[in-house]
Structure 1
Amino acid sequence: MQRYAIYYAPREGAFAFRANDWLGREPGSRRELPQPVLPAIGDPRDITSEPRRYGFHGTIRAPFRPAEGIGEDRIRATVSDLAARLAPVICEGLRVEVLHGFVALTPLGCEAALLDLGAAVVEGTNSLRAPLTGAEIARRRPDRLSPRQRELLDRWGYPHVMEEFRFHLTLTDRLERPEPARVALEAFFDPVLPRPFVVEDLCLFGEDGSGRFHLLHRYALTG
């Protein structure tokens, strides 16, 4: 694996099955799935290329290259230790909304707890990552970041952490007209949205040579 990330991914069940169906793949088994065609959307492959690459997830620690001398065993051990001391986050539920031009599921009623979880994971894994290269910094478009976001990028390797962290589960690419997709996806997901919604695991994902991410291991939050 060329990069690693720590995500939320739902455990097996109706919610996970529907989300994986929508994106057309199971990140754990690497199995490809036929994507459903929804009213007013058309071919879902045309609007899901980016989230399909990553698999259905919510980012907690964004993808990073391992530092010199850091192997997968060390990464796994670190994530396991974090999960053993961090508690699950219980939210009221999820809603479908438009964020910056793409459609996503966002949690309700747990913002402070998610901020705390995200901060603990970012801090606890920072020693695992290699310093950002100039090309990696450029991809984050630093000229478009606020001074605080640029500070976070330099300190933690990603600009949307700490108080800038906003947990979400991406469903589409950026769209010129996202509202029809939002309406269709709200109807598609509503029967299976978990109430409450619980972040109960840290999931270690790895990026293969083709740029696709795969679920490597799931660590229950038991703190």
Structure 2
Amino acid sequence: MSYARFAIYYVPPEGALAEFGAAWLGWDCVAGRDALQPGVPGLDDVTITPRKYGFHGTLKPPFRLVEGRDIEGLKAAVAQMAQTCPPGQSDGLALTALGRFLALTPVGDAAGISRVAATCVETLDAFRAPSTEAELARRRKARLSVRQDALLQSWGYPYVMEEFRFHLTLTGRLPVDQIDRWAETARAHLPPLAAPFVVGEVALMGERSDGRFELIQRYTLAG
């Protein structure tokens, strides 16, 4: 399989949360196939934006491989990083409105999870092709702060390091008057959420020719 871009995600291990996420979004990024969504009117529309990424928490955002690097080298680098990186955790997860989209976010101190993400961003950056001017311009449409723009130039994405906030996305941008309704609907379908919530592994993901991301390999954090 040839991939246009790669990313490092947290993808929930096999279980109720993973099953919920695949069904809710309509895409099983572990199996690399469509998933049957619940019969909720409008769900297909509000999940169309996050669907292609699968149910995940971003650790290192999608990137193109720089010239001279290949997927086998990337796999080896992720494996080496995972051997020395300790897991991160928080007290649990909670359904949250982040601006106008819904996500599951950590409860309590999430510094350990942020550390895992920063390690992924920094350690694997030698594999990331530099951002093009078009990519930079597109990101800057979000009216970035001075610090966010500096992070964009350094790491190819503005919301990393101290600007990072871990989240498992459930919807695209919602009309303001529909946020509460969709939160109630999501809550009714969520399984019990683990406490504590542990990021104990990372997933190397690839973007297929159809634009959807699928799992390439999981790595246990063993530091």
TM-score tier (shorter):
over 0.9
Partner of 1:96: 95
Code of the residue aligned with 1:117 in structure 2: it is V
2: CA distance, partners of 1:35 / 1:91: 29
Once structures 1 and 2 are overlaid, which stretch shifts more, 83-92 or 96-105? 83-92
The superposition leaves residues 154-173 of structure 1 with CA deviations (integer Å, 9 ceiling, x where unpaired) of 00111001100000000001
Partner of 2:140: 141
The Cα shift of 1:142 comes to 4.9
Partner of 2:194: 194
The superposition leaves residues 166-195 of structure 1 with CA deviations (integer Å, 9 ceiling, x where unpaired) of 000000010013221112112221x33122
**1:51 maps to 2:53:** no
TM-score by length of 1: 0.95
Structure 2 unaligned spans of 5+: none
- Go from structure 1 to structure 2 and tell me whether the alpha carbon gap of 1:59 and 1:71 turns closer, same or farther (over 3 Å shift): same
Instruction: Give matches, 1:9-158, under 5 Å.
Output: 9-38=11-40, 42-142=41-141, 144-158=143-157
- RMSD over aligned Cα atoms: 1.2
2: CA distance, partners of 1:27 / 1:215: 6
Q: Is 2:53–2:212's contact at 8 Å kept on the other side of the alignment? A: yes
Q: Percent identity?
A: 46
Structure 1 unaligned spans of 5+: none
Code of the residue aligned with 1:126 in structure 2: it is D
Instruction: Give matches, 1:155-174, under 5 Å.
Output: 155-174=154-173
Code of the residue aligned with 1:183 in structure 2: it is E
Code of the residue aligned with 2:183 in structure 1: it is R
2: CA distance, partners of 1:16 / 1:110: 23
Q: Is 2:205–2:214's contact at 8 Å kept on the other side of the alignment? A: yes
Code of the residue aligned with 1:149 in structure 2: it is Q
Once structures 1 and 2 are overlaid, which stretch shifts more, 144-153 or 90-99? 90-99
Q: Is 2:87–2:112's contact at 8 Å kept on the other side of the alignment? A: no
Runs of 4+ aligned structure 1 residues displaced above 3 Å come to none
Q: How many residues align?
A: 219
The Cα shift of 1:143 comes to 6.2
TM-score by length of 2: 0.95
Q: Is 1:37–1:43's contact at 8 Å kept on the other side of the alignment? A: no
The Cα shift of 1:116 comes to 1.5
The Cα shift of 1:60 comes to 0.3
Q: Is 1:201–1:219's contact at 8 Å kept on the other side of the alignment? A: yes
